[in-house]
Amino acid sequence: MKLYITAGSPYARIARIVILEKGLESRVEIIAAQTRVADSPYYRINPSGRVPYLIRDDGVGLEESAVICAYLDHIDGKPAFDLPAGGEAWEARRLEGLARSMVDGLAVWGREIVRPEEERSPTIIRHEARRSERMADLWETEIDHPLMRGALNLAQITLACGLGLEARNPDLRWRPGHPKLCDWFDRLAARPSFAATAPPRAPSTTVAPPGSDMAHFPELLRNLPQFEGPFDAFKLEAKDCDVLFASYPAGTVIPPHSHDTENVGVITQGELILTLDGKETRHRPGDWYHVPAKATHAARFDAETSEIEFWFHAPHRGE
């Protein structure tokens, strides 16, 4: 099976957590999709362009995180995330609905802040920020519900994936005034399936401020279109290859993933710590790295790092 994701998507993260919790890693290949860009090759795979998207072994594709999770949970005939029996089922549904409602609002907010500054709607941002405050207040009370404290379930996973968006949105500050929620979240976030799928920390701003890490790229490159993705980059599109002039703040962690493109890159400042085939390598300014298509790899940046990345699409590689 193949699961298409983006590293920052809370919905894709819900499915990725279920895969890890169910021990299905060897059966599901995780592939990073390029969403929200014109003419992404991903649209030929999933016309809706959304993630998560699961392609089953029989080639049939499934959308919607809840549907994907239910399918994955039942694959071994031992579902762990089905609704509890009796009256508790309604409580489980109610809590999962509340958690999903919070994630939906946070996703709208997150989408707004990655738009070019002049296209962002202050009204939507304000509305979603207020919604998130009300939802955090509500969850500070609901978090003591036995279903939120008992065996892992989809309400817990969904809520934690929503709260985890604090890494992507510096203005999402649900922690102050919510000590029980903080404690609950921090404990769950330490669980291996959550730690392995933590979203990469968003750059503090999508526009390179003067003197920032991006500023060392020549002006001609800084005038290129901004990459619409989970990190700061300017994008040059060539035939069958995208060239990204990218910058990652210190502390960025990119969890294990793979993509259809074959990538090479050169570090221009800082250091890339790359894990490929279970081996960690360090790349400093002037060093090139190579990530084959479909190879599972992870990266982290302890120091602010910039690089020039070349993403070669399949036609160039003669496939």
Ligand X SMILES: N[C@@H](CCC(=O)N[C@@H](CS)C(=O)NCC(=O)O)C(=O)O
**Cβ-based neighbours of 275, under 8 Å, separated by 6 or more:** 256, 297, 298, 299
Closer to ligand X by CB, 161 or 214: give it: 161
Considering the complex, what minimum distance in angstroms separates the CB of residue 318 from ligand X?
30
Q: Is residue 172 at the binding interface for ligand X, with CB under 6 A as the rule?
A: no
CA distances from 73 to 18, 80, 111, 159 (A): 7, 6, 29, 19
Scanning 47-55, 153-161, 163-171, 280-288 for contacts with ligand X by CB under 6 A, the matching segment is 47-55
Strands 241-248 and 232-238: antiparallel
Q: Is residue 9 at the binding interface for ligand X, with CB under 6 A as the rule?
A: yes
Q: Is residue 169 at the binding interface for ligand X, with CB under 6 A as the rule?
A: no
Q: Is residue 263 at the binding interface for ligand X, with CB under 6 A as the rule?
A: no
Scanning 3-11, 88-96, 202-210, 302-310 for contacts with ligand X by CB under 6 A, the matching segment is 3-11
List binders of ligand X among 97-156 (CB under 6 A). Answer: 107
Considering the complex, what minimum distance in angstroms separates the CB of residue 275 from ligand X?
25
Considering the complex, what minimum distance in angstroms separates the CB of residue 169 from ligand X?
12
Nearest in space to 155 (alpha carbons), one of 17, 59, 306: 17
CA distance 218 to 234: 11
Q: Please pick, from the candidates 7, 51, 113, 253, the single residue that binds ligand X as defined by CB under 6 A.
A: 51
List binders of ligand X among 52-91 (CB under 6 A). Answer: 52, 64-65
Q: At 56, list the tokens.
A: 């089953």
Closer to ligand X by CB, 68 or 274: give it: 68
Q: Which residues bind ligand X (CB under 6 A)?
A: 9-11, 35-36, 49-52, 64-65, 107
